[in-house]
Structure 1
Amino acid sequence: MRAILTAAVRAYRYFISPMLGPTCRFYPSCSCYAEEALQQHGAARGTYLTVRRLMRCHPWNEGGYDPVPPPHNTKPVPHG
């Protein structure tokens, strides 16, 4: 599933985005953010992070630097 979503993001970046011009208010761009989020967090959480980012990318948001959050470490910490 991650590969399909990543391919869709790349297709958007290379075929649709050039026709629209640079409109993203953030760095990295929303398509780069989406690809990185999918690679780091998987399909479910990566999609959630991408949708959350896309909802903030509008003319009334000043944008700026907004990196993908690092993955949570889910391994238990050994005691003792």
Structure 2
Amino acid sequence: MIEIIRTVLLKFLWLYQKFFTLIGFGSCRYYPSCSEFARINFENNSLSSAFYHSLTRILRCNQLFDGGIEYPLLDKLSPKPTKLGMESIRYWLVPNKNNRFHIIKNFSYKG
């Protein structure tokens, strides 16, 4: 059931990124954009954690905050990939001081 909800939310985010971000192109104050931040969170974290972090990010995306570069944090590591190479790695994980990891997208990923 949780995977169905996750899939529906990811499809909704894909539709939003594909069609509705053209309306407000360049209006996000952060990198990666809030929708990309939410998508990465929903792919890699629990639903409650993804909702919380995405909502707080969206609430901070206004003129009262500076914005900047803020990568999503990963709650736990998934199993290691079987084939290692630049094309097989989807995200780079950078350790954080709280035993969590920043997720950085690998743009040369082919999968």
Hey, what's the Cα distance between the residues in 2 that align with 1:32 and 1:54? 11
Any residues of structure 2 matched to 1:1-80 within 5 Å, and which?
A: 1-72=5-76
Structure-2-length-normalised TM-score = 0.61
Q: Which has the higher contact order (CA 8 A, sep 6+)?
A: 1
Amino acid at match of 2:41: A
1:43 Cα offset (Å): 2.1
4+ aligned runs moved over 2 Å, structure 1: none
Give 5+ residue unaligned stretches, structure 2. 78-111
For the residues of structure 2 that align with 1:29 and 1:51, how far apart are their CA atoms? 13
Structure with higher helix content: 1
- The Cα shift of 1:27 comes to 0.7
Give the % identical residues: 25
Across the aligned residues of Structure 1 and Structure 2, the Cα RMSD in angstroms comes to: 1.3
More strand by share: 2
TM-score w.r.t. the length of structure 1 is 0.83
Helix, strand or coil: the match of 1:19?
coil
Structure 1 unmatched runs, 5+: 74-80
- The count of aligned residue pairs is 73
Q: Give the aligned residue type for 2:43.
A: Q
